[in-house]
Every structure is written in C-alpha cells, then in structure tokens.
C-alpha cells in the first residue's frame, strides 16, 4: 500500500520489526470511528462524493462487525491496524476505499486513534475508581468506630479507627481521578487533518471531525499534533501514581491477613492455597496488585526514554508507545477491580484490632496533651515527663492505663486521678475531633459526605 517507490519487498526481519498489528489491533474501534468521521467530513466538503462516503461508512461498519464477531483476519504483512482495515475495505467496496485516505496520513490517523483510546481508557478507569471509592466509603461508614492501631514507621503510634484508615485511600483515589481528569482535558484535542506533519491543501473542516469524535477542538499546530506523546506520558504518570497507591494498600492487606497480625480476613474469593501446605490461605490477589505496579511504572519509564531524544515530527520509534501503554492501563484496570473486590470482601477482626491498638503505650501522646492542658506544662517538658512515665511502665510491665497513680506521681507529683480519663484507647480516639481527625463522629460524617459526593455523576 506504500510500495510505489520500492522495487521489492522488505526483508523478513524488516517485516517482523516493522509490523505492529499484534499490538495496535486494540485500536480498531477508534480507528473505524475516526475513519467514518473523516469520510463524512470529506463528503460534506465535496472532496469526495456522497456516494463514495456512504460506501466507505457502510464498509467500515461491516468491518467493525467482523472484528467484534472474531471473523476478521489480521495480516502482519499489512503492518498495522490502519492498513489492515483499509485493505479489507478495498475488498468490500472496491476503488472507493482508496478515497478514504485523502487529506490524511497514518501519522495523524494513529495520533487520533491513540488519543481516542487513551481517553476511553481514562473514562473507564474513572468509573472503576469511583466504584472503588464508594466501596471504601461504605465500609468506612460501617466501621467508623472500630478501633485499630495507627502506625508510623510500622510501629504502633496512636489508636485510630478502621473507617478513618479506609477513608485515607478514598482521598488518594480522589487525587488519582483528578490527575486522570486533568490528563483527559489536555489530550482532548484532535490531530486529524494535520496529515503527515504540515497539514493539507484540501479544504477540510477539522472542527467538524473534532466535534464528531468528541474532542474539544482541533490541535492548533500540525507538527505538534502528530509528534506529541505527552498525553500518553501524562496518563501513564497518573496510572503509575494510582498503582503506587493501590500497592500500598495491597501491602497492608498482605500484612493484615497474616495470622500473626490477623486484623482482617479475606474469603476464598480472593485467596489461594498452597500446593504443598494444606493450611495456607495466601493473599495472592493483593500480592498481584502490588506486583503490577512495577509493570505500570516501567511503562512510563520506557516511553519517557523512547521520547527523550526524538526530533520533530513523527519517528518510527513512536510505534513503541502502544504496547506498554495498553498493557499498563489494562493492568491498572484489573488492579482497581481486584482492590474493590477485596475491600468489599474483607472482614475485620474488631476484637483483635482493639487489643493491638493499646500495644506500645499508644496513648502516650494523650498523656502529654493532658499535662499541657491540666498542668500548663510546655509541650516539650510534657513530652519529656511522658517519656519517663512510659519508661517506668515498661519496667513494671504495665500499660499506661494500668500504671498506678502513685507510680506516675514519682515522675510528676501534680498528676491527678482524672488522668486515667484520657489513657484508654476509646477516649483517645474520641478526643481526636479536629478537622480530619479520627474521632468516630468525624469518620461517620466524612464517609457520609463521600458517599453523597460519589452518588453524583461526574461532568465531562
């Protein structure tokens, strides 16, 4: 289809390295949609006849049906999805198919198809992340008062609630969705009509094709239109950050489901067994989500390295943009679905969480705050006094709440009996009423607010 300049065919290895059909066949819906829009525009602008446009559109609809029913034969010799579809269109409607490529190039064609593909993937991911958020917020609402240990450095820090912990991931997912939305807004410019790199001499209507394909506007610079791949990089960057957030939660699920920790249990739906150890219940779904983050981050790195040294405009190196991107966005979609399923499935062990919440003198900060409020100690002095009391409790093998008042008064004589009101994990959690704090009333309000927000359909 491009052989007029060449006297012979490519070498076998050239044909193999040049072919991308095994990857870009995933873009068939977008390629057909863009071709139909282009054909109709050509007819309206009287560049091709209405009869030829109708034949082209009808033929493309038939090809779409063939692909979706698994009856389309993809040919590696035809290199890519564009030429495979055009060749089949020629089989179906004859010479009229040759008019479809008027005023366009494979350069603007693939740039348009790929923008449409990434946009579709972002929309699907946004819906999946919204469901993930709703699932988290629903579980958070049910466990607004379920106490668990909060950690820093993976050491017991202060008691929090399970609902509060889950809502942290709702916030992360909100920022992930915002990053994808920003990427979507910037990618939503139509390259079609930029042709190879310089535009075209035909009187095309780029605004029409942009509008029909759901773009906000045509891309303003023809060179940039065909050579830009920052829209892919930005989507992959958002995907990589999202994957990191999922991986952090997956890591916690792996830890929590260990019998040694035992904070939550996953059912048979999201665990597997061992081929040799009958007792095992492995959190493989969480581990696989954690592992897929590496592939997604790798796709971003790979494309940045491909693009970093390319002069304008289109280069064949850019054919490498699709395989990693398609794989990464697919892996992320699978990871989001798996995490959503695990959140819905997990059952917390409230008694075990509550017992662990008091380990490691987790209410020591509450004691320091009490010393500031009641005895008017500077916080640094209160911190030092509390540290000495904690050391005393450790020597006696007691929790702070069980340490006799007389022992505390050996460190600070003015401590009164009402100090015990702040040393239980329940009182500690309930006292954290500042904005964004872990008090159960706060968590219940935040979960309700998120569920109300997520019930609204997003605007495009």
Contact 320, 116 (CB under 8 A): no
Contact 173, 245 (CB under 8 A): yes
Ramachandran angles phi, psi of 7, nearest 5°: -90, -20
Query: What whole-number distance in Å separates Cα of residue 86 and Cα of residue 94?
Result: 11
Ramachandran angles phi, psi of 80, nearest 5°: -145, 180
**Residues with catalytic roles:** 153, 274
Query: What whole-number distance in Å separates Cα of residue 223 and Cα of residue 279?
Result: 62
313: preceding bond cis by omega (within 30 degrees): yes
Strand partners of residue 156: 151
Dihedral sign of CA atoms 174, 179, 185, 190 in order = negative
Query: What whole-number distance in Å separates Cα of residue 160 and Cα of residue 54?
Result: 65
DSSP three-state, residue 305:
helix
End-to-end CA distance of the chain: give it in Å, rounded: 39
- Name the residue among 162, 183, 50, 16 with its Cα closest to residue 115: 183
Q: Would you give the DSSP letter of residue 419?
A: G
Buried b (16+ CB within 10 A) or exposed e, 29-64: ebbbbbbbbbbbbbbeeebbeeebbebbbebbeebb
What length does the chain have?
Answer: 460
Contact 161, 143 (CB under 8 A): yes
Query: What whole-number distance in Å separates Cα of residue 339 and Cα of residue 210?
Result: 36
Query: What whole-number distance in Å separates Cα of residue 21 and Cα of residue 81?
Result: 6
């Amino acid at each position: 289809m491009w052989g007029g300049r060449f006297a012979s065919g490519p070498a076998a290895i050239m044909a193999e390295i040049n072919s991308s059909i095994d990857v870009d066949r995933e873009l068939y819906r977008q390629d057909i949609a863009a071709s139909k829009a282009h054909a109709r525009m050509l007819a309206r602008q009287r560049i091709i006849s209405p009869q030829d446009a109708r034949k082209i559109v009808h033929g493309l609809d038939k090809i779409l049906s063939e692909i979706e029913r698994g009856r389309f034969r993809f040919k590696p010799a035809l290199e890519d999805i564009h030429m495979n579809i055009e060749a089949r269109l020629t089989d179906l409607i004859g010479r009229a198919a040759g008019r479809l490529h008027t005023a366009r190039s494979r350069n603007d064609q693939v740039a348009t198809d790929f923008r449409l593909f990434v946009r579709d993937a972002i929309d699907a991911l946004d819906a999946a992340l919204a469901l993930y958020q709703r699932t988290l917020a629903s579980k958070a609402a049910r466990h607004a008062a379920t106490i668990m240990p909060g950690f820093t450095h993976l050491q017991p820090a202060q008691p929090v609630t399970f609902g509060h912990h889950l809502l942290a991931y709702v916030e992360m997912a909100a920022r992930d969705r915002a990053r994808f939305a920003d990427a979507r807004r910037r990618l939503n410019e139509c390259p079609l009509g930029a042709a190879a790199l310089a535009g075209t001499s035909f009187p095309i209507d780029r605004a029409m094709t942009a509008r029909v394909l759901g773009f906000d506007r045509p891309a303003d610079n023809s060179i940039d239109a065909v050579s830009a791949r920052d829209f892919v990089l930005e989507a992959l960057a958002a995907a990589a950050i999202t994957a990191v957030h999922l991986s952090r939660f997956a890591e916690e699920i792996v830890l929590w489901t260990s019998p040694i920790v035992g904070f939550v249990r996953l059912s048979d739906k999201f665990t597997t067994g061992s081929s040799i150890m009958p007792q095992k219940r492995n959190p493989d779904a969480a581990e696989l989500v954690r592992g897929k983050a590496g592939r997604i981050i790798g796709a971003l790195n790979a494309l940045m390295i491909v693009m970093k040294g390319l002069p304008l405009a289109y280069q064949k190196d850019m054919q490498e943009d699709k395989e990693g991107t398609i794989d990464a966005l697919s892996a992320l979609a699978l990871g989001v679905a798996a995490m959503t399923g695990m959140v819905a499935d997990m059952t917390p062990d409230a008694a075990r969480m509550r017992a662990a919440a008091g380990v490691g003198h987790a209410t020591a900060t509450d004691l320091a705050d009490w010393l500031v409020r009641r005895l008017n100690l500077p916080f640094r002095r209160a911190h030092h006094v509390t540290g000495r009391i904690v050391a005393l409790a450790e020597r006696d093998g007691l929790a702070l709440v069980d340490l006799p008042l007389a022992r505390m008064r050996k460190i600070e004589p003015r401590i009164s009996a009402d100090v015990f009101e702040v040393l239980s994990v329940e009182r500690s959690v309930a006292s954290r009423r500042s904005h964004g704090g872990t008090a159960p009333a706060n968590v219940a309000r935040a979960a309700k607010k998120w569920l109300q927000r997520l019930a609204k359909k997003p605007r495009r």
